């Protein structure tokens, strides 16, 4: 029996030489695929850069310059002022700071009331029209969604007509013996009105100081004005239908077997809603609250059409103040600075909301996986 040894020629063919580069398999095909991908996405990148990135960069430059609205903001005659526009809004102590603080207060009450109420109402409507026993579900879904597709300007005009001193709302209140206020022209804060019932008509000494943005504590706790309450009703009325559709889609993704299993375990209707259905709607609730936060902090068209910030600036919002400062007062630097502060507020609140609604005890990779599409 003899052992066979490979010849030197066969060894040189099978084993590559030491130090030689490894052969690339499919390298040309991968390069062509990457190139084709960039060609396909290049139109969208060009559009985003032209209509999103470039305006943001231009607005950021305007917020730290003294551009007066004429010519190019990048012209050599436009000066750099640093954070002066931001300083006037946050610590300037003048009318600009007071107006900005007033707009933040008004918008904060608007957000605090609209976001939770519209979320709860849209969820309730979705649960109602998702019941199989309900007849005419299509009609009710269309009826509830109809205000969302109507022009906001038209709805604002209708609401102003309904809430005038001699409007339909006050006539209905008069039937039950209530003398309604002059809704649209009443600048009184709701909390001030309640305190007035108990004889507190003037600020106590502890609430006369103004350490936050130059606005006294007494004004911060005034609550939404009666006029702002009209816009709060209108926002809830017009947006609940849209969010109702999101909740309906999420409810239809929940298997009926889960509800049946809860019934077998002895859960009643309320327990199934609060302990089974709503926890499974957490991703949709996060989406609805996030969209609500962004939309309510950007409220503009209703204010522009309705009251122009009045009465007594109690419906003034940062978005409308930014427009007013830029286009009316021609102070483009401060107007852009207001917009960027508003952007920072929205981002901060969104991050805070995501932290508050996170799923505790669940690994990060498994969060928001089942209902993210909703």
Digit-coded pLDDT (tens) for 293-323: 999 999 999 999 999 998 999 999 999 999 9
Domain carrying residue 301: 94-189+224-357
Cα(first)–Cα(last) distance of the chain, in Å? 74
Q: For the chain, how many structural domains are there in total?
A: 1
pLDDT score at 26: 58
pTM of structure: 0.84
Among residues 251, 277, 267, 279, the alpha carbon closest in space to that of 132 is found at 251
pLDDT score at 289: 93
Residue 26 is assigned to a structural domain of this protein = no
Residue 47 is assigned to a structural domain of this protein = no
For the chain, which ranges sit under pLDDT 50?
Answer: 1-13, 370-374
pLDDT score at 367: 54
Residue 349 is assigned to a structural domain of this protein = yes
Residue 372: which residues within 8 A CB-CB, separation 6 or more? 283
CATH number (domain holding residue 339): 1.10.3720.10
Residue 148 is assigned to a structural domain of this protein = yes
Residue 171 is assigned to a structural domain of this protein = yes
Burial call 309-339: b when 16+ CB within 10 Å, e when fewer: bbbebbbbbbbbbbbbbbeeeebbbbbbbbb
pLDDT score at 24: 57
pLDDT score at 20: 56
Taking residue 49's Cβ as centre, other Cβ atoms within 10 Å add up to 11
Residue 327 is assigned to a structural domain of this protein = yes
What is the rounded CA–CA span in Å between residue 138 and residue 130?
Answer: 10
CB 192 within 8 A of CB 223: yes
Residue 24 is assigned to a structural domain of this protein = no
Residue 102 is assigned to a structural domain of this protein = yes
């Amino acid at each position: 029996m003899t052992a066979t040894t490979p010849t030197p020629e066969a060894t040189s063919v099978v084993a590559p030489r030491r130090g030689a580069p490894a052969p690339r398999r499919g390298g040309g095909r991968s390069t062509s695929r990457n190139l084709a991908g960039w060609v396909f996405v290049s139109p969208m990148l060009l559009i985003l850069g032209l209509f999103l990135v470039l305006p943001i960069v231009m607005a950021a430059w305007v917020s730290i310059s003294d551009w007066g609205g004429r010519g190019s903001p990048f012209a050599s005659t436009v000066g750099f002022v640093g954070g002066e526009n931001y300083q006037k809004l946050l610590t300037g102590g003048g009318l600009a700071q007071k107006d900005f603080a007033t707009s933040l207060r008004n918008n904060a009450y608007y957000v605090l009331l609209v976001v939770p109420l519209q979320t709860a109402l849209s969820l309730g409507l979705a649960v109602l029209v998702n019941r199989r026993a309900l007849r005419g579900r299509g009609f009710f879904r269309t009826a509830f969604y109809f205000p969302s597709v109507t022009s906001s300007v038209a709805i604002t005009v209708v609401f102003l007509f309904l809430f005038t001193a001699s409007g339909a709302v006050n006539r209905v209140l008069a039937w039950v013996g209530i003398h309604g206020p002059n809704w649209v022209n009443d600048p009184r804060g709701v909390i001030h009105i309640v305190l007035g019932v108990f004889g507190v008509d003037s600020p106590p000494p502890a609430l006369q100081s103004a350490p936050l943005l130059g606005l006294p504590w007494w004004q911060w706790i005034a609550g939404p004005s009666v006029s702002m309450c009209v816009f709060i009703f209108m926002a809830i009325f017009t947006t609940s239908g849209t969010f109702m559709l999101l909740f309906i889609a999420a409810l239809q993704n929940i298997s009926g077997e889960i509800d049946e299993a809860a019934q077998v375990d002895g859960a009643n209707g309320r327990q199934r809603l609060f302990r089974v259905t709503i926890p499974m709607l957490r991703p949709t609730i996060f989406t609805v609250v996030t969209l609500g936060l962004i939309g309510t902090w950007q409220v503009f068209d209703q204010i522009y059409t309705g009251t122009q910030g009045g009465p007594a600036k109690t419906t003034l919002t940062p978005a409308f103040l930014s427009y007013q400062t830029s286009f009316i007062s021609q102070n483009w630097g401060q107007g852009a600075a207001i917009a960027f502060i508003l952007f920072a507020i929205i981002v901060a609140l969104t991050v805070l909301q995501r932290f508050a609604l996170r799923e505790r005890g669940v690994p990060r990779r498994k969060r928001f996986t089942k209902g993210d599409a909703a």
